[in-house]
Amino acid sequence: MSGALLDPRTRAPARARADALLARMTLREKIGQMTQAEKNSVTPDDVREHALGSVISGGGGNPEPNTPAAWRDMVVGFRRAAAESRLGIPLLYGVDAVHGHNNVVGATIFPHNVGLGAVGDADLVRRIGRATAVEVAATGVRWNFAPAVSVPVDVRWGRTYEGYGQDPELVGRLAAAYVEGLRGDRWDAPDAVLPSVKHYLADGAARHGSSTRWDRAAVKSVADDPTLANAGPAAEFLKVLDRGAWTIDQGVVEFDERTLREAFLPPYRAAIDAGALNVMASYGSWNGLRMHEQRTLLTDVLKGEFGFEGFVVSDWAAIDQIHDDPAVCVERSIDAGIDMVMVPFDWRRFMDLLEAAVERGVVPLERIDDAVRRILTAKFHLGLFDEAGEPDREPPLAVVGQPDHRRLAHEAARRSPVLLQNRGDALPLPPSLPTLLVAGAGADDVGLQCGGWTISWMGAAGPVTPGTTLLQGLRRLRSDADVAFEPDGRGEGRAVAGIVVLAEEPYAEGMGDRHSLALEPDELALVERIRARVDTLVLVLYAGRPRVLGDAARLADAIVCAWLPGSEGAAVAEPILGASGFEARLRLRWPAADADLPLHPFGPPGSGPDGAFEIGHGLSTTPWDEPDSAA
């Protein structure tokens, strides 16, 4: 039951207070609470006038300047406006803080979930959740659209890195720990942040080629799409489409109900049992219906079987995909069990359509009351009514990016790399190493090591936010060695050892879907150039998913998958140089070839090809000395 970890002193009073407030609300005010708008499409005056329930910053929805102080001023401005509405119902401001408060320049950026899954340490995830909540709350935000409890089936999916792995038990255990971290001691504490467990259901199980998010015949109109326009110029969008963007994300799930229940539902139960009060619905489809219109899954299973007492929020403009008629989209989604609707751009239209549907009797008033009661109850549990829109109770802005949090991120980045291959005990590199050649732009690039959902929706290469890099870590730990750096590896000198860093370009959501995970020709050429100039070659991958390595695996003595380690990339140097040992394990099956995809554990044993590396694989090493605790 979702109430299992709710304070018994506040659980019943929260419901009673919600019922009392609900009795005083007009229909329009109730619909306002069910409405969630994006900050660039709404003003504080709109929030005040329409009693809106929530405002969000989409990926890259940042204030100018992008500083913690500007964030707090922006969020508090919306919150104070809500407090000035007729009933003063507080606003829930939401962000995608999926690996730290990752929209804010200077915040601590933790490894993406795929790396945390490789560590498999629930206490580490809990501590990361707590640090994230403190930084998020310091800017006035009390709702985080995380954790993703996705179980990726086809790792060509662009959101693979948001999931902890392909083991439902592991995903549920770590998701529960993250929920507990966001909560802290109690939900009504000023540094507690509401988690949004997403995306319900089986968002990572869509079939390659089934996505209908983007009509390739209409690709020239990308600039007219207010969402996809954020992904970059139209010409670049065309190139990414050719590589496979929007082929999986928001697609069709073809597993049967038994598999849904065995493989994809358990993490939701674990998160709900940990006290989660919000679930976000998936864009995907199952049994011919969008998840946003699946009454059986949303109402009968989630709210009925699971006893979920919180509220369900839609994804970004997701109800628009239900039907060509916007009115039908509103009616079906609310009837199915969506309680709050994320309508980033057309929030006024949504309110008008829902009001008309209630007045016509198409949507029962009882369904509206149930939705609003759930939303209000969550707000009472969070103590929002006791804050009156003021930020005085919240953590100080100085906690954003504070040293303790960066040390925690350093620990996570140090522990999450998986040692895939280690011929001749190449790693750790010897302490007496005289020369080291480092190649690949990712070795000294904070943006590449952080990946997507970092400052902007897609992320970007370069110094997007403060952090440390692998190259800096190597030079700090081997200050007595000659550590040369060649981004393109086109020098001529030799070295005893070489490290080649191959980094995926940053991406998010369906923009990261791909037809192939094979290394690019220029990546393989870089490996070949450095192989010819060193005695020992170490290949380091910065990636949100497994890559098909081909000849690079043969050329490398050691292969390290460091995933997307976040802002504290210097920590990756520690297991490589023996300041710590490798400990992480694969939680995803690693394909040997593109033809082997999708490669997952949800089928009859022996029914598919063997992976190059299987779940549980990961070599261990012994450090030369005790781990360096300095960040």
Cα distance between residue 13 and residue 87, in whole Å: 19
Catalytic residue among 315, 557, 568, 628: 315
Residue 157 lies in a domain: yes
Q: Are 416 and 374 found together in one domain?
A: no
Token reading at 412:
């996570």
What's the pLDDT score for residue 386?
86
Residue 521 lies in a domain: yes
Residue 128, number of CB atoms within 10 A of its CB: 29
Domain finish residue from 352, 369, 395? 395
Residue 359, number of CB atoms within 10 A of its CB: 11
Q: Are 407 and 388 found together in one domain?
A: no
Q: Using alpha carbons only, what angle is made at residue 457 by residues 453 and 458, rounded to the nearest 5 degrees?
A: 85
Residue 563 backbone dihedrals phi, psi, to 5 degrees? 55, -135
Residue 578 lies in a domain: yes
Residue 258, number of CB atoms within 10 A of its CB: 8
Residue 224 lies in a domain: no
Residue 621 lies in a domain: no
Q: Are 376 and 471 found together in one domain?
A: no
Cα distance between residue 402 and residue 387, in whole Å: 25
Say whether 509 is catalytic.
Answer: yes
User: Which long-range contacts (C-beta less than 8 Å, at least 24 apart) are formed by 602-606?
Assistant: 602/153, 602/166, 602/255, 602/259, 602/263
Cα distance between residue 564 and residue 566, in whole Å: 6
Token reading at 631:
């960040």
Catalytic residue among 293, 394, 509, 523: 509
Residue 466, number of CB atoms within 10 A of its CB: 14
Cα distance between residue 458 and residue 614, in whole Å: 29
- Sheet with strand 289-290: strands edge to edge: 252-253, 285-286, 289-290
Amino acid identity, position 335? D
Residue 272 lies in a domain: yes
What's the pLDDT score for residue 627?
47
The total domain count for the chain is 2
Q: Using CB atoms within 10 A of its CB, is residue 528 exposed (0-12), middle (13-18) or buried (19+)?
A: middle
Token reading at 396:
């100080």
Domain finish residue from 341, 372, 395? 395
Say whether 557 is catalytic.
Answer: no
What's the pLDDT score for residue 630?
43
Q: Are 154 and 274 found together in one domain?
A: yes
Cα distance between residue 217 and residue 127, in whole Å: 47
Cα four-point dihedral sign 465, 466, 472, 477: negative
Beta bridge partners of 537: 498
What DSSP assignment string belongs to 293-332? G-HIIIIIIIIIIS---SEEE--TTGGGGS-SSHHHHHHH
Residue 623 lies in a domain: no
Residue 484 backbone dihedrals phi, psi, to 5 degrees? -95, 145
Q: Are 424 and 318 found together in one domain?
A: no
Q: Are 391 and 331 found together in one domain?
A: yes
Residue 182 backbone dihedrals phi, psi, to 5 degrees? -65, -35
Domain range enclosing 110: 2-206+254-395
Domain CATH number, residue 84: 3.20.20.300
What's the pLDDT score for residue 388?
53
Q: Are 316 and 436 found together in one domain?
A: no
Strand bridging mode 418-422 / 289-290? unpaired
What's the pLDDT score for residue 2?
46
Q: What is the pLDDT of residues 217-269, one digit of tens each?
A: 776 667 678 887 777 777 788 889 999 999 999 999 999 999 999 999 999 99
Is 208:156 a contact under the CB 8 Å cutoff?
yes
Residues of the chain below pLDDT 50 = 1-4, 389, 627-631
**What is the gyration radius of the CA atoms in the chain, in angstroms?**
24
What's the pLDDT score for residue 390?
52
Helices (H), 278-346: 295, 326-336
Helix, strand, coil percentages (3-state) for the chain, rounded to 5, are 40, 15, 45
Q: Are 381 and 411 found together in one domain?
A: no
Residue 236 lies in a domain: no
Residue 82 backbone dihedrals phi, psi, to 5 degrees? -60, -40
Number of residues assigned to the chain = 631
Q: Are 339 and 418 found together in one domain?
A: no
Strand bridging mode 435-439 / 252-253? unpaired
Q: Are 381 and 504 found together in one domain?
A: no
What DSSP assignment string belongs to 398-454? GGTT-HHHHHHHHHHHHH--EEEEEGGG--SPPTT--EEEEESGGGG-HHHHH-SSB
Helix axes 122-138, 403-415, angle to 10 degrees: 150
Cα four-point dihedral sign 238, 242, 248, 251: positive
Q: Are 432 and 290 found together in one domain?
A: no
Domain CATH number, residue 494: 3.40.50.1700
Q: Are 412 and 391 found together in one domain?
A: no
Is 593:557 a contact under the CB 8 Å cutoff?
no
Strand bridging mode 194-195 / 143-144? parallel
Domain finish residue from 395, 424, 448? 395
What's the pLDDT score for residue 11?
67
